[in-house]
Structure 1
Amino acid sequence: MASPEVSEVGSDGLRQSPPEAALGGPAIPKSKMFSRDSIVVGAKAVAGIVGLFVVWQLVVIIFSPPEYLAVGPISAFDELIKRPDYFASNTWVTLQEALAGFALGTALGILCGAVLHYSPTVRSFLYPALIAIDTIPKVALAPLFIVWFGFGFESKAFVAMAIAFFPLVINTYDGLSSVPHELQELARINKASPWKKMTKIDFIYAIPSIFSGAKISISLAVGGAVVGEFIAGSKGLGYVILLANSQVDLPSMFAAFIVLAAIALALFFIVDFAGRKLVPWKNHAK
């Protein structure tokens, strides 16, 4: 990763010069946003997904399992076409819960990661506790959130937050700890204020690592919302799966699986795209 450069130093701290330097390199031309390589990568991804569905359908055709054991993607997509409003309304519920949990987890994760980095005393007490909490299965924590926040939207959002939180903590802490020693010394020698150092150096270097954690967290947040719906849900894709399971309705169940995978994949690429826009020097250096 190409590093952002600090070209001028003022009496009040550090000041980065041109916008290109603040980004760690020259701006990427818009024509490269959808380059031939990116189109090829996208085409391969689509081909891989289509190939997975084809293999899945072929396995079902060849082995012909009973419908209460497995169905093919054709049956699942047929179910989606038959009841679009049913799946759309429940998808919207799960999506809201996941996005709320992701937003909360991101904000708290970045804040906690920064506290761990800037306060060694707090880190010595808090870091082991965070690891211990993260080892607890989130399914076990879900009933506790329901007791605290009830059976509504809030409990599912907080379950999603609990799952999405930890990757942001670790990646923020690792990113802030990756600042080169030379720049730290430069800031110290020129008596840069802590705020200047944090905003002009530390978080610039941490952004790529933070977005790496965010790409993990966004998918986990979707799973966290579903976990909450499993425990106490009357709507959402988790509820759809539970209801289909009780009725041995595998087409509906697999349709919900496909929608969940599509949501997680779409959110992942949205976060990835945002990272590419906010961290252009990382892509330019490749």
Structure 2
Amino acid sequence: MASPEVRSDRLRQSSPEAALDGRATSRPTRLSRDSIVAGAKAVAGIVGIFVVWQLLVTIIAPPEFLLVGPVSAFAELIERPGYFASNTFVTLQEALAGFALGTALGVLCGAALHYSSTVRSFLYPALIAIDTIPKVALAPLFIVWFGFGFESKAFVAMAIAFFPLVINTYDGLSSVPHELQELARINKASQWKKMTKIEFIYAIPSIFSGAKISISLAVGGAVVGEFIAGSKGLGYVILLANSQVDLPSMFAAFIVLAAIALALFFIVDFAGRKLVPWKNHAK
């Protein structure tokens, strides 16, 4: 016959609290394992693309002024690391500045559209119309306004990153369930508490979804600005390589741009997972 201490331990181990504790302990391990598997698959997919690309170049053997393989592109990166690193830093600064501006303005504008019917009536159609304009056409305007320096490229990146955050913020705030709205009304919550404790909390996942789109677009926006009036940055590297028919340098810049956009995307995604833990609670 088991002693009272043993029976007590067994009861504690079989209690619902212990079961919950066990799930809470195992869940981070399972999430870590899933993250590792997902990361391994992503790396395998990227490596597979490079392998197929190099095989096609090797088999078809096109002229070097038409297409080069990833081996040539990576050889160019290894041969001139300082050149690509300095220009990458310029583009990264412009993209991050544009993303930060676009995020701030996009969230504020999306909130204004949600909370003011007057603003929504006047501003929403105008935003849709502006969004249809190719951003390459807007780049010269920013250069006229802000000159040929850092600011013009950052504002081009901001203009491209701005719109996904406006739409996602507005949609997130507009999709708060009626039950939560009714709960706030019953408890006589002020507009400020309703906005900060319910609506924006509920909209955060949508805002992060928009941010994941915007961060990649901001990198492209910085490059667009460098295309129009750049003397440094990866966009300038691509233009210079194009003028010299230097495809290894051009494809090396493409690879670096893709790596930057991918890294920034995963950083924003990771931040979203940490700041919005309830989104993945059921997974």
For structure 1, which runs of at least 5 residues remain unmatched after alignment?
Answer: 1-25
**Matches of 1:135 and 1:151, distance apart in 2:** 25
**Matches of 2:29 and 2:96, distance apart in 1:** 30
Aligned AA for 2:238? I
Matched, 1:248 2:238: no
Query: 1:115 is paired with a residue of what secondary structure?
Result: helix
Give the aligned partner of residue 9 of structure 2: none
**Matches of 1:244 and 1:255, distance apart in 2:** 10
Matched, 1:104 2:110: no
Show CA shifts across 1:149-202 (max 9, x none): 000000000000000000000000000011111111121222211110000000
Contact 1:218/1:267 (8 A) holds in 2: yes
C-alpha deviation, 1:280, in angstroms: 0.5
Show CA shifts across 1:76-109 (max 9, x none): 0000000000000000000000000000000000
Contact 1:112/1:169 (8 A) holds in 2: yes
Query: 2:175 is paired with a residue of what secondary structure?
Result: coil
**Matches of 1:33 and 1:218, distance apart in 2:** 29
C-alpha deviation, 1:31, in angstroms: 3.4
C-alpha deviation, 1:207, in angstroms: 0.3
C-alpha deviation, 1:120, in angstroms: 1.0
Aligned AA for 1:116? L
**Matches of 1:161 and 1:32, distance apart in 2:** 38
Give the aligned partner of residue 270 of structure 2: 273
Greater share of helix residues, 1 or 2? 2
Aligned AA for 2:157? A
Aligned AA for 2:100? A
Equivalences for residues 14-163 of structure 1 within 5 A: 31-32=28-29, 35-163=32-160
C-alpha deviation, 1:27, in angstroms: 8.0
Question: Which of residues 197, 201, 209 is equivalent to 1:200?
Answer: 197
**Matches of 1:250 and 1:284, distance apart in 2:** 47
For structure 2, which runs of at least 5 residues remain unmatched after alignment?
Answer: 1-22
Number of aligned positions between the proteins: 261
Give the aligned partner of residue 6 of structure 1: none
Contact 1:237/1:260 (8 A) holds in 2: yes
Contact 1:67/1:250 (8 A) holds in 2: yes
C-alpha deviation, 1:45, in angstroms: 0.3
Equivalences for residues 150-229 of structure 1 within 5 A: 150-229=147-226
Query: Aligned pair in 2 of structure 1 residues 166, 27: CA closer, same or farther (>3 Å)?
Result: farther
Structure showing greater radius of gyration is: 2
**Matches of 1:43 and 1:275, distance apart in 2:** 21
What fraction of aligned residue pairs are identical, expressed as a percent?
90
C-alpha deviation, 1:254, in angstroms: 0.1
Structure-1-length-normalised TM-score? 0.89
**Matches of 1:88 and 1:212, distance apart in 2:** 29
Q: Relative contact order, CA 8 A, sep 6+: which one is greater?
A: 1
**Matches of 1:181 and 1:109, distance apart in 2:** 25
**Matches of 1:112 and 1:233, distance apart in 2:** 30
State the Cα RMSD in Å.
Answer: 1.4
Structure-2-length-normalised TM-score? 0.90
